[in-house]
Amino acid sequence: MNRFNVKCILVTGCAGFIGSNFVRQFKKEFPKAAIVGIDDLSTGRKEEIDKSVKFYKGSILDTKLLDRIFAKHKPEYVFHFAALPRVSYSVEYPVETSEANIVGTIALLNASQKYGVKRFIYSSSSSVYGGAKQLPTKEKDNEPNPRSPYAVQKYIGEPFCKVFSDLYGLDTACLRYFNVYGPGQYGDSAYSTVVSAWLESLYFPKNKKAFIEGDGKQSRDFCYVDNVVLANMFAMKSSKKLNGEVFNVAHGERTTVNQVKKLIEKYSGKKISLEKRAPRKGDVKHTHADISKIKRMLGYKPVVNFEEGLVRTIKWFEERIKKQ
């Protein structure tokens, strides 16, 4: 029996990788709650949206549509996953991505305060650190240093959350995700991690050619998508006022790219052949989050470790092959 009571939530970006995973798991824990979703399907896939979602196809920039959705459904919690989340795309299209990622977030914050939402949970990104000085990286000792339009856009959402908490009393929480991977992340998108990019090349060689940049000793704090979902659930359930508080969301351990290759080969039984490329300019060598703050304040603990997450992701790729 779940003692936390929730009647209705709004999930933006419900057709995307993290949003669609979130919906499926939220439904398992709260089968009676209504889930309203909005997505313009610019990158998301309609078939990923759970049938139980009351789905609106449209943009978070459409304030009339937002008014209609909020007035009709009165969501108590808003989980804001919608974004154009690609660094290279944001470099090419700084105006369009700023609209979706900054103005879209403000439009949602505004509707949330107007319609009395209990808490707004914002998907931020570890890219705001722009190569942290300290590893493992703590929120407070590492000033944001965004290095791409995408990272600036994600960062700006954080002080906006804080301002809406201060000005209107709308409670908000900002979750900085590190290198998320898992089922539902297609490897042919520019934003995919090496995990999905390499699995795509193994299972769907026509879609993707696998490559490695540099010596493979670079490491990442790979975070399985269920851990991100869980962090959002904890952020919703917290009895504290969060008022724009920022939290790292990660596994809290790092894995080198060379180790990823070995483990993929071990669990898939296939050999990956990689084209060697020069290290990417400006790429950070390591990411590694300090997750003590979210553990302490929200009770978060990652539930799926890297190897287990990898096995589940491989299974999803194998199922995709069967469906073809």
**Minimum distance of ligand NAD from residue 40's CB (angstroms):** 4
Nearer to ligand NAD, 17 or 77 (CB): 17
Q: Cα 144 from chain centroid?
A: 18
CA 285/CA 143 separation, integer angstroms: 18
Nearer to ligand NAD, 82 or 117 (CB): 82
Strand partners, 223: 180
CB atoms inside a 10 Å sphere around CB 120: 28
**Minimum distance of ligand NAD from residue 70's CB (angstroms):** 15
Size of the site for ligand NAD (CB under 6 A): 29
Among 39, 139, 221, 245, binds ligand NAD (CB under 6 A): 39
Phi-psi region of 277 (alpha: psi -120 to 50; beta: other; left: phi over 0): beta
Among 44, 144, 302, 309, binds ligand NAD (CB under 6 A): 44
Interacting positions 77-116 with ligand NAD (CB under 6 A): 81-85, 100, 104
Nearer to ligand NAD, 185 or 201 (CB): 185
Run of H or E including 22: helix 17-29
**Minimum distance of ligand NAD from residue 281's CB (angstroms):** 21
**Minimum distance of ligand NAD from residue 249's CB (angstroms):** 8
**Minimum distance of ligand NAD from residue 62's CB (angstroms):** 8
Q: Is 40 in the site for ligand NAD (CB under 6 A)?
A: yes
**Minimum distance of ligand NAD from residue 223's CB (angstroms):** 8
Q: Is 195 in the site for ligand NAD (CB under 6 A)?
A: no
Burial class of 163 by CB neighbour count within 10 A (0 to 12, 13 to 18, 19+): middle
Which of helix, strand or coil describes residue 93?
coil
- Stretch of 17-25, 251-259, 278-286, 301-309 contacting ligand NAD, by CB under 6 A: 17-25
Using DSSP bridges, classify how beta strands 255-256 and 219-220 pair: parallel, antiparallel or unpaired.
antiparallel
Q: Is 161 in the site for ligand NAD (CB under 6 A)?
A: no
Q: Is 123 in the site for ligand NAD (CB under 6 A)?
A: yes
Interacting positions 124-143 with ligand NAD (CB under 6 A): 125
Interacting positions 220-239 with ligand NAD (CB under 6 A): none
Distances (CA, A) of 250 to 14, 27, 72, 195, 301: 21, 23, 35, 16, 9
Among 6, 9, 10, 16, binds ligand NAD (CB under 6 A): 16
Return the amino acid letter for 1.
M
**Minimum distance of ligand NAD from residue 271's CB (angstroms):** 26
Tokens describing residue 53 = 């979602």
Q: Write the CB contacts of 27 (distance below 8 Å, at least 6 apart in sequence).
A: 33, 35, 50, 52
Looking up tokens 């996953």 gives 81
**Minimum distance of ligand NAD from residue 115's CB (angstroms):** 18
- Stretch of 9-17, 67-75, 235-243, 276-284 contacting ligand NAD, by CB under 6 A: 9-17
Interacting positions 164-193 with ligand NAD (CB under 6 A): 177, 179-180
**Strands (DSSP E) found in the chain:** 8-12, 34-39, 54-57, 77-80, 119-125, 171-177, 180-181, 211-213, 219-220, 223-224, 245-249, 255-256, 275-277
Cβ–Cβ < 8 Å for 9, 75: yes
Residues of the shown chain interacting with ligand NAD in the complex, contacts defined by CB under 6 A? 13, 15-19, 38-44, 59-61, 81-85, 100, 104, 123, 125, 154, 177, 179-180
